[in-house]
Amino acid sequence: MYQFWNDVTEILILVNRTVYGLFVPTLMDLFFRHYDYSKHCFLTWFAILICTTVLGIVVIYDGFVSKKVSRNEIRRGEAHFNKFKIGCSLVSYSGVVVNLIVCCFGTKPEIFVTAHVIHTLTNFVVTLNFVSPALDYLVMDIEMHKKHLKNVILCQIAGIIILPLLTHHIRTWNETSAIMFSQLLDLNREEHRKSTESLDSTYEQDDYTKSHESIGSFCGVCYRTYSDKIKTRTPRLLRKCGHTICEDCAGEILKNNYYIDIPCPFCMEMTRVVSARRLSKNYALLEGICELKRLKAFYKCYPPKKAEFVKLERRYSFS
């Protein structure tokens, strides 16, 4: 019976190492070939941090146990069985980490690739250092296996309870953030509408040059005028669709989307970018703003009619 168990153990270890030895290089090749990690540095560094942390835990614990065994403080069989239990726990909870990553960052292909790499590398390191060596020394101790089974059941129950609660709060937070951002956009539009109506009603009494102190087109998200002097109001082009928004709004949208890409607020096309400053400036619009400023300086001495000024502003307005 014991000889049969040892043979099965050797076969399992050999198959496990062979599969991981073939699968991990293939996965890494696909990862670096199809995954543009330069545009998703946050996810890439997050994956590296998780894998490095797991590897560090493995190395530190292995050194600690080796010292204990060398001092005869614990038996070698007990040490390997503890490694086996810890390895099984790490493999199980790496799946929980993957679920949390998907719930936090969304269900995009880049997220799935990152989560899969974390899960695979964690399983590979833990299996190679904890589970496989422990199988060589694993004893047929019924009481020890009962204790191990109880721990596994408790961990699974805890995971079943904790994971839905965490994902519920994370999804609720994401939905609340989206609602607040949408309400902010509606508030900006309403304020712009009220200010426009107020300007129209008092246009004859007030000097129109004061009403248009900031010359240029309005951002379609925050309804603030573009500027060639203020960096946060610089018009930025979304490469995917060609729409223009200000740098401040682009940065806020990118931040709410976890620095992965910018969904266009007008057509929802995704533009992948690391920073809002990496987006190209709308030089045609900036040129129009500069020309309007020159016209404003000229018309201070010779103010034109209201209709002519409105016509000039509409000519150089982009939305």
> What is 82-137 written as a DSSP string?
HHHHHHHHHHHHHHHHHHHHHHHH-S-HHHHHHHHHHHHHHHHHHIIIIIHHHHHH
Q: Which of 20-24, 88-92, 114-118, 275-279 has the lowest mean pLDDT?
A: 20-24
| Contact status, residue 259 vs residue 274, Cβ threshold 8 Å | yes
* H/E run at residue 165: helix 142-201
Q: Are strands 270-272 and 244-246 parallel, antiparallel or unpaired?
A: unpaired
Amino acid 312 reads: L
Tokens 């610089």 belong to which residue? 234
Out of 122, 140, 158, pick the residue that ends a domain.
140
The SS3 of residue 204 is: coil
Q: How confident is the model at residue 204 (pLDDT cuts 50, 70, 90)?
A: very low
CB 281 within 8 A of CB 234: yes
pLDDT given for residue 203 in this prediction = 42
Which domain covers residue 84, as residue numbers?
2-140
Most confidently modeled range among 42-46, 112-116, 257-261: 257-261
Per-residue pLDDT, 273: 84
Query: Is the pLDDT higher at 3 or at 129?
Result: 129
Query: With pLDDT > 70 as the criterion, what percentage of the chain qualifies?
Result: 32
Indicate if the alpha-carbon torsion angle 80, 86, 87, 88 is positive or negative.
positive
Residue 227: inside a domain, yes or no? yes
- Mean pLDDT over 272-297 rounds to 80
210 lies in the same domain as 109? no
Q: Can you give the pLDDT at residue 169?
A: 55
Domain co-membership, 113 together with 31 = yes
3-state secondary structure of 261: strand
Q: What is the pLDDT of residue 260?
A: 73
Residue at 161 is within a domain:
no
Q: Is the pTM of this model over 0.85?
A: no
Is residue 307's pLDDT more than 50? no
**Residue range 191-209: average pLDDT?**
48
Q: How many folded domains does the chain comprise?
A: 2
* Segment among 145-154, 204-213, 236-245, 255-264 with least mean pLDDT: 204-213
Q: What is the pLDDT of residue 16?
A: 57
Q: Assess whether 16 and 136 both reside in one domain.
A: yes
Q: Which one of 130-144, 225-239, 303-317 scores highest in mean pLDDT?
A: 225-239
- Claim to verify: residue 136 and residue 217 sit in the same structural domain: no
Please name which of 139, 145, 134 lies closest in space to residue 86, comparing C-alpha atoms: 134
State which of 140, 162, 182 marks the end of a domain.
140
Is 167 among the domain residues? Answer: no
* pLDDT at 73 > cutoff 70: yes
The answer to whether residue 262 scores a pLDDT higher than 70 is yes
- With cut-offs at 50, 70 and 90, classify the pLDDT of residue 44: low
* 22, two tokens: 């073939």
Give the domain-ending residue among 120, 140, 160: 140
Average pLDDT over residues 195-200: 50
Q: Do 206 and 95 lie in a common domain?
A: no
In a domain, 256, yes or no: yes
Q: What is the CATH number of the domain that holds 232?
A: 3.30.40.10
Phi, psi of 236 (to 5 degrees): -120, 140
Give the pLDDT score at 154: 65
Beta-bridge mates of residue 128: none
In this structure, is residue 36 part of a structural domain? Answer: yes
* Model confidence band, residue 212 (pLDDT cutoffs 50, 70, 90): very low
